[in-house]
Amino acid sequence: MTVPELLRHPQQRKLLLSAGLSWLFDAMEVGMLSFVLTALAVEWHLSPDEKGLLSAINSLGMAAGAAVAGILADRYGRRNILMWTLVIFCAASGLSALATGFFVMCLLRFVAGFGLGGELPVASTLMSESVPARERGRAVVWLESFWAAGWIVSALIAYFVIPHYGWRMAFVIGAVPALYAIYLRRAIPESPKYLGRRSAAMPFGERVASVWSSPHRRSTIVAWVLWFTVVFSYYGIFLWLPSIVMGKGFDMIKSFQYVLIMTLAQLPGYFTAAYFIEKFGRKFVLVTYLILTAISAVWFGNSDTQGMLIAAGVCLSFFNLGAWGAMYAYTPELYPTPIRSTGVGLAASFGRIGGVIGPYLVGMLIAANMDVTSIFWLFFAAILIGAVTVLVAGKETKGADPDAEMGTAR
C-alpha cells in the first residue's frame, strides 16, 4: 500500500495523525534537552560529567517508564496508558522551567523521561495492532517519522527561542502538549486486538515469564540487543550533537543551525525505510541502515571541515532514524497480542539502559580528554553488534501473524 492509499482510509489516517502528534511532542521534548544542555552548561557552569549525568537520568526515567507502561498497557489498554504518559512528561517538562538547581532538574528530568519512555512503545504497539498485516510495517515507520518532525521543531525552538528568551521558555513550550491529551481520549480508538482479548488478560508474572519462554526467548534476546545498541548510540551521539559541533570550533547559534540541517535528513530516512520495509522486509532495512549508520558515525567523528561535518551529520541522521523506524515496526511483530505490549516495553526498557550509559559515558570520556574520533569508533562497534545480531539470529516478520503462529488466534 502506498502512502496516499494508507492515508485515504479515514480511521487509519486519524489514528496515524493522532498518535503521530503525541510522538512529535515526545521527540520535541528529547530534542530540546540536547539544546538546553548546551545552554545550561554555560549558565550553570556544568562540567561534562554533569551534562552526561543529566542526560543519563532522563534516559533512566525512560527505561522505567517503558517497562511499567508496557506492562500496564497489556492490562489496562493501549489508549489509556498512552494518554497518561503524555500528561506525565508534559507536566514534568513545564515544571523543569522552574528548576533552580542541578538536583531539582535531575529529578524532574527523571519524571519527564518516565512519561516519554512509557508513551513510545505503547503508541507503536497500538499502531501495529490497528492496521492490516500488509500495512503495519509501513504504518509504524510512518508513525516514527513524526519523531523527525519533533526534532525539527525542537531545533527551531532552540535556534529562535533559546538564544533570545532562554532555556526556561523552551521547557514552557514543552508543557503545552499536555492539553492534547484531552483530545487523544476521544480521537484514538482502542486497539481492536486488545479489545478482543481483554477478557483473557494474563497475570503480570505470567506475561513476563512468557516473554522469556522457549517460543519467544530467541526473539527477546535479539530485540534486547538491538534496542540496547541502537539506543546507546542514538542518545550518546544526538544528545551531545550540539556540544560536539561547538567543540569543533563553532559558536552555540551556529551549532544549533548545523544540527537543524542534520535533523532535516531524518524525514527522508524514515520515508525510504517505510518504502523498503514492505518491499524487502524488516531485516533488510535494519541491517542495511544500521551498517550505514555505523559508517556515518566514523565519518562524523573524523570530520574536520564544515562541509564534511554537515554531510556526515546528514547521513548519520538519515540512516539512524530510518533504523529506528524499522525497529519500532519489527518489535511488536515478535510477540502475540496477550504479551505484545509487555514484550515491546521490556525491550525498550532494556534499550533505555543503553540510553543511560551512552550520554554519561560520552561526558566521562570528554572529561578525560578522549578525542571525538575515538568516541565515535566506540559507537561504530556498538551499532555493528546490533546489525550482526539481527542478521544472524533475527527472524523476518514481514506479513507474519504471531497470534496464529502461537496458536492463540480465536
C-alpha closest to that of 148 among 297, 301, 324, 2: 324
Q: Is the pLDDT of residue 351 over 80?
A: yes
Q: Report the chain's mean pLDDT, rounded to a whole number.
A: 85
Q: Residue range 166-191: average pLDDT? A: 79
Q: What is the pLDDT of residue 106?
A: 93
Give Rg (Cα) of the chain: 20
Handedness of CA 228, 230, 236, 239 (dihedral sign): negative
Higher pLDDT, 355 or 167: 167
Lowest mean pLDDT among 5-19, 74-88, 164-178, 372-386: 5-19
Q: What is the pLDDT of residue 50?
A: 85
> Rounded CA gap, 140 and 4, in Å?
15
> Rounded CA gap, 361 and 232, in Å?
10
Q: What is the pLDDT of residue 335?
A: 93
> Rounded CA gap, 120 and 102, in Å?
27
Question: What are the tens digits of pLDDT across the range 326-337?
Answer: 998 999 999 998
Q: What is the pLDDT of residue 410?
A: 37
H or E segment and range at residue 45: none
Higher pLDDT, 402 or 340: 340
Query: What pTM was computed for the model?
Result: 0.80
Question: What are the tens digits of pLDDT across the range 296-311?
Answer: 999 988 887 878 888 9
C-alpha closest to that of 85 among 345, 409, 305: 345
Nearest 5°: CA angle at 225, between 221 and 230?
150
Nine-digit cell at 276?
A: 523498503
Q: Is the pLDDT of residue 200 over 60?
A: no
> Rounded CA gap, 19 and 82, in Å?
9
Q: Residue range 21-46: average pLDDT? A: 83
Domains and CATH numbers, the chain: 3-187+207-396 (1.20.1250.20)
Higher pLDDT, 109 or 259: 109
Question: What are the tens digits of pLDDT across the range 120-129?
Answer: 888 888 888 8
Q: Is the pLDDT of residue 408 over 50?
A: no
Q: What is the pLDDT of residue 223?
A: 97
